[in-house]
Structure 1
């Protein structure tokens, strides 16, 4: 009777050693390419940041070359432009009421607020970068008027602010840099574009990565979503790229 018992014990020991215990690690989502549907030239020098005004049905971008805010149609044509009191403009967002334009100034590490006509209200500092050349890059606003701000790198940060005060911050490790952020009201998610990583990341507002999508160029500096299309502006060639939004 001893031989069958010994064989059973040896078998159980071998199974126990071979069985892998769960590590608790979560696999990163697969990176899939966005489907490009159109590309348009704009006459905006070094466009950076992108927002959508649903009341006027126009896109909005800024130029860090000339401190100007531009209204664009969906083919990149300039409809209106006005110079504002600021420098090194990088990101742009519009308040839910449509009465306040938020812009980030990278080297000054400021968030500045303007009227719809370009009159400056005030600014507040967001000094989180260790290098002023890799500082604030993008901004978005949710329905509660909370601001989501991305710092390019050193460190790569997603920050949440309310009434000029920091609410939270999280370091983003899924990309080389962060270039702009868009808040999607329907899902309460964020979409972040990375210039150097050539991709778009879908995240929760607390920074949890949900999905990743590749794009075929660097210098994607602004992102917004209108219905089923993703719009991205490229800083180097001044083009407006249009992609199909993934389901």
Structure 2
């Protein structure tokens, strides 16, 4: 009987060693309430904040609230191009046309049309009330289906504001499903919004009115940008300067 117990112990030890060895060579990523982490990459951008993706799902864009510049990235986080623009506390970004991006400046509450080919830009001041300048515009998302624009006020209050094509306010909705709201993306195929919260550490699927459909927890520090393409959700971390890729839930 003692011999059998010893043999079982040896077998379990071997299995454990093999498991650890395999785990080192092939990293196993956790699943959080249905969200599987596919991969993560360091990116050479200080304090990236905001994330956008082109319609083909092949190119990402982000901004830095440290350098206040705009960056073109590969889907593995490599910096492909830096656009010369000196913003004022850049926090959000969205693809707008084939050659233009939308970015938001938090403290001045401006939405900026930026032309990637010429470097020219137009600023549009958004007139709404919030408590402090440092809790202002945090995200922007262009709706290709109806040509409206969604912007987020981070907190105090958390707001989802929908703009007409001429940048006047169409609707404004108070959000209450997270502690703050740090990034937004409009998914054309489903006509839903994806909103990420830095403080609550959640990815939130919402309808166009800002009503929560489902919330998914993520273990990402200072998640401040989100983009969705096909079966993937891309998240950028401000504090870690890192790109996370999750499998989009069905």
Please tell me the TM-score bracket, short chain as reference: 0.7 to 0.9
TM-score, normalisation: structure 2: 0.83
User: What's the CA shift for 1:55?
Assistant: 5.5
Distance verdict in 2 for CA 1:118–1:69, change over 3 Å:
farther
Aligned pair count? 216
Cα displacement string for residues 128-172 of structure 1 (whole angstroms, at most 9, x for unaligned residues): 321001100000001122100010001100000011100001111
Alignment match, 1:171: 174
Determine whether 1:88 maps to 2:89. yes
1:81 CA drift (Å)? 0.6
Q: Which residue number in structure 2 is paired with residue 209 of structure 1?
A: 212
Asked if 1:187 corresponds to 2:190, the answer is yes
Question: Alignment partner for residue 200 of structure 1, among 203, 208, 216?
Answer: 203
TM-score by length of 1: 0.84
- What is the DSSP-based 3-state SS (H/G/I as helix, E as strand, rest coil) of the residue aligned with 1:186? coil
Unaligned runs of 5+ residues in structure 2 are 1-31
Deviation of the 1:220 alpha carbon: 0.2
In 2, the alpha carbon distance for the partners of 1:157 and 1:133 equals 14
Residue 228 (structure 1) aligns with = 231
Q: Which structure 1 segments of 5+ residues have no match?
A: 1-30
Q: Is the 8 A contact 1:84 1:120 kept in 2?
A: no
Contact 1:197 1:218 in 2 (8 A): no
Alignment RMSD (CA, Å): 1.5
Q: Quick one: distance in 1 between partners of 2:75 and 2:67?
A: 22
Deviation at 1:120, TM superposition (A): 3.2
User: Residues 32-181 of structure 1: matches in 2 within 5 Å?
Assistant: 32=33, 34-54=35-55, 57-95=58-96, 97-117=97-117, 119-126=119-126, 127-143=128-144, 144-162=146-164, 163-181=166-184
